[in-house]
Amino acid sequence: MKKKDLFFILGAIVFVALFFVIIPLKEWFMDWSSAKDFRYFLLSFLKFGVLATAGECIGLRITKGNYNEKSFGLMPRFIVWGLLGIAISAAMTIFANGTFVFLHYCGLNLDATTLSSECFSLQLLYAFSVSVLMNTFFAPVFMTVHKITDTHILENNGTLRGFFTPIHFGRIIKNLNWDVQWNFIFKKTIPFFWFPAHTVTFMLDSEYRVLCAALLGVALGIILSIANLKKTNK
């Protein structure tokens, strides 16, 4: 383990520990996590902006040997992940509630107020159903949008000024490596990683779900680095 890895790990530990040691900070975090207004989405922006970007830094360390570099675009990635975090939070809310309606049509009368009193198997069925529906209908679009913004950032050398230039969606979509996107990102990571990972996420209380999803962004950074390695080895 190199010195920069030790600093990164220690920094991560200290950052997390602050939310346990500083009580007002912990109370603020829990209050905003359970809020039913704009604070919920603002905190989602910060959670994903910090954690998912950290995941991509880890991915860069795997592929390039560094946690950051000039063309990486740390701030643009933070902004993108923050905005994607808001979209993910909205999707989680929509699918978490909409799945009750879907299961009702399937003959299961479950609802948010009584779910915690149901048996474990029904709670697991609900969580798995939300995960499958969300990752089947939302995840491919989200992953493709992320890949487009990632390409845009790299094409503009990671600069903020370049990031705010128009994104050439048509050209970028046409030139995406759909072999890797479809055969690895969609066909393998969605059913074998994201289905079970988000099943666990939706077994948690609602105020912890977005945090868990953001932490999974660290895993996503590693997955993307593997995808990039696959692309390089083609």
Is residue 59 within 8 Å of residue 224, measured between CB atoms? yes
**For residue 202, what pLDDT is reported?**
95
Position 117 scores a pLDDT of 85
- Mean pLDDT for 163-173 is 95
Q: Return the number of other C-beta atoms located less than 10 Å from residue 104's C-beta.
A: 12
What's the average model confidence in pLDDT over 57-67?
Answer: 87
pLDDT in tens, 178-230: 998 999 889 988 999 999 999 999 999 887 888 888 888 777 767 766 666 65
Using CB atoms within 10 Å of the CB of residue 142, give its burial: 0 to 12 exposed, 13 to 18 middle, 19+ buried: middle
Task: Report pLDDT digits (tens) over 64-94.
Answer: 888 998 889 999 999 999 999 999 999 999 9
